[in-house]
Amino acid sequence: MTGFFERLISLMDFDKAAVAMIDDEQKDAVKALFNRLADLYIDMLQRYKKAYDPVIFCLHDDWGSQRSPFFSLSTVMEMIVPALSRVVRAAQDAGMFFDMHSCGKNELLVPAYIEAGADLWSGQSMNDKAMLYEKYGDKIILGLDPDVVFTSGLSDEEAIASAKRFVKKYGPTMYMKPFTCTAMGATSAFLDTLYEESRKLFS
């Protein structure tokens, strides 16, 4: 569902929403809105749980562009994390895994996802996933990228080799630092090999 900053954008448009996040005269009103949204989201997720019994609850709130975050870490910690953490706790208390969907080059904001208690952040490929995994992989589950881009010109052999490299690189640490593989557009050759190679680690 649409998260806090995205909902603010829908009410004010992007430029005014961005200013409201740092304008001392508007901060209290923004925080009040975010707290009310948290109440709404908690009510909704509890209804989802009762009606459908989902395993994962995903909240969408994009915090960055292709080049950088929309705001500083301190701004997110002050303005969004208190309300977001309430929703995270409610989802987890209801027995759901919390997936934070947040597009953009947001590697500087990962501490905010962690502080809020999110279980997973996949992130887009423009983020330095290897660095993030090394630094934060024991605190949050990260979506890691393979070393190929899945285009029509990628052969099955290249896809298979990439899957094997992925498992070899990250597999040995998966018990201490669990992760997901964010392979957008992955072929069956890649996915089948990824499954087979990762299962070998449990044998």
Which amino acid is residue 70, in one-letter code? F
Three-state helix/strand/coil letters over 32-91: HHHHHHHHHHHHHHHHHHHHHCCCEEEEECCCECCCCECCCHHHHHHHCHHHHHHHHHHH
Exposed/middle/buried for 135, CB within 10 Å: 0-12, 13-18, 19+? middle
Q: Report whether 158 contacts 173 (CB < 8 A).
A: no
State pLDDT tens for residues 122-131. 899 999 999 9
**Measured CA angle at 33 (ends 31, 34), to 5 deg:** 65
Domains of the chain: 4-144 (3.20.20.210), 146-203 (no CATH)
Radius of gyration over alpha carbons of the chain, in Å? 19
Task: Give the pTM.
Answer: 0.92
pLDDT of residue 71: 96
pLDDT of residue 1: 73
Cα–Cα separations (whole angstroms), residue 129 to 141, 159, 180, 182: 11, 20, 11, 11
pLDDT of residue 174: 87
pLDDT of residue 122: 87
State which residues of the chain have pLDDT below 70.
none
Alpha-carbon 87 to chain mean position: 15
What CA–CA distance (Å, rounded) separates 180 from 140?
11
CB count in 10 Å sphere of residue 57 = 24
Which amino acid is residue 1, in one-letter code? M
Give me the chain's average pLDDT, please: 95
pLDDT of residue 183: 85
Q: Report whether 106 contacts 64 (CB < 8 A).
A: yes
